[in-house]
Homo-oligomer: A and B are copies of this chain.
């Protein structure tokens, strides 16, 4: 909660510096969802957004708070997490340029998960009302939106199965593939997330995550040096993922 307050005051300080420094029409880091919008519509978005920057660790928005904006990450890396009973569950990492399309906007105007910057990040915050209006007016944009929300749901189902039906080794394997294939997009990759975050992705304790990382290292499936991980034997790791 303290972090959130800090985050808010921080972005208020920086806001004027970033606000409307670019515009959406010429923005070269705009989300692909905007391909469905024409120039007039982009200009509408442009007039109803502002940019914010976050330091690593800062909370972007907090589960339970009002959700008057959609947030688009323009640089850095963010984690989305549900705050449960004592523990957190990370339901996804978000990298540029991607929208965070929380389901609360169409239901109760509340965030149903929290978001925090993992690395130093910048984001565009677009007024949800403006966004909703464009969804009403432009069917292509609406379909694109629904497609993204659907993709998110499908991703969630996969995580569901991983977390509820696999044992720890399989879950860590899944997390490593997710990081390598979908987030850092390289094979020797340097994790900017902490061990605790890795554990929160895999639904286990930090200690268990570390132990399994070490086991994989001892079996030459991985090389692990601090935060740098190299998947040496992807085939075997895949097998571990599949056998649970």
Interface residue ranges, A against B (CB under 8 Å): 82, 84-87, 89, 91, 103-107, 112-113, 132, 135-137, 139, 142-143, 145-147, 149-154, 156-157, 160-161, 163-166, 203, 242-244
Contact B164 A84 (CB under 8 A): yes
CA distance A91 to B157 in the complex (A): 9
Q: Give chain B residues whose Cβ lies under 8 Å from the Cβ of A137.
A: 139
Given contacts A82-B160, A161-B84, contact A147 B106 (CB under 8 A): yes
* Inter-subunit contact B82/A166 (CB<8 Å): no
Which of A91, A164, A244 has the most B CB atoms < 10 Å from its CB?
Answer: A164
Chain B residues whose C-beta falls within 8 Å of the C-beta of A103 in the assembled complex: 149-151, 153-154
Contact B149 A149 (CB under 8 A): yes
Q: Could you say which residues of chain B place their CB within 8 Å of the CB of A156?
A: 153, 156, 160
Contact of A106 among B146, B157, B242 (CB under 8 A): B146
The complex is assembled from copies of this chain, and their number is: 2
Q: A146-B106, A146-B146, A151-B103 are in contact. Are A165 and B84 (CB under 8 A)?
A: yes
Bound-state Cα–Cα, A105 to B149, Å: 12
Contacts of A112 in B (CB 8 A): 153-154, 157
How far does the alpha carbon of A137 sit from the alpha carbon of B137 in the complex, in Å? 10
Please measure, in the bound complex, the distance between the C-alpha atom of A143 and the C-alpha atom of B132, giving whole angstroms.
Answer: 9
Q: Choose one: B136, B152, B164; the contact of A153 (CB below 8 Å).
A: B152
- Report yes or no: B151 in contact with A107, Cβ–Cβ below 8 A: yes
Does A161 lie within 8 Å of B107, measured CB to CB? no
Report if A136-B142 is in contact (Cβ < 8 Å); known contacts: A84-B161, A157-B112, A163-B163. yes
Is B106 a contact of A150 with CB atoms below 8 Å?
Answer: yes
Is the beta-carbon distance between B85 and A244 smaller than 8 angstroms? yes
Residue in B closest to A203 when the chains form the complex, CB atoms: B164
Contact A150 B89 (CB under 8 A): no
Across chains A and B, which 5 residue pairs bring their CB atoms closest together, nearest first?
Answer: A103-B150, A136-B139, A84-B165, A103-B153, A164-B203
Query: In the complex, are the beta carbons of B146 and A136 less than 8 A apart?
Result: no
Question: Could you tell me the distance between the alpha carbons of A136 and B144 in the complex, rounded to whole angstroms?
Answer: 11
Q: Collect the chain B residues with CB atoms within 8 Å of residue A113's CB.
A: 157
Most buried by B among A107, A135, A242: A107
Which residues on the B side are within 8 Å of A104 (C-beta)? 150, 154
CB distance from A64 to the nearest CB of B (A): 12
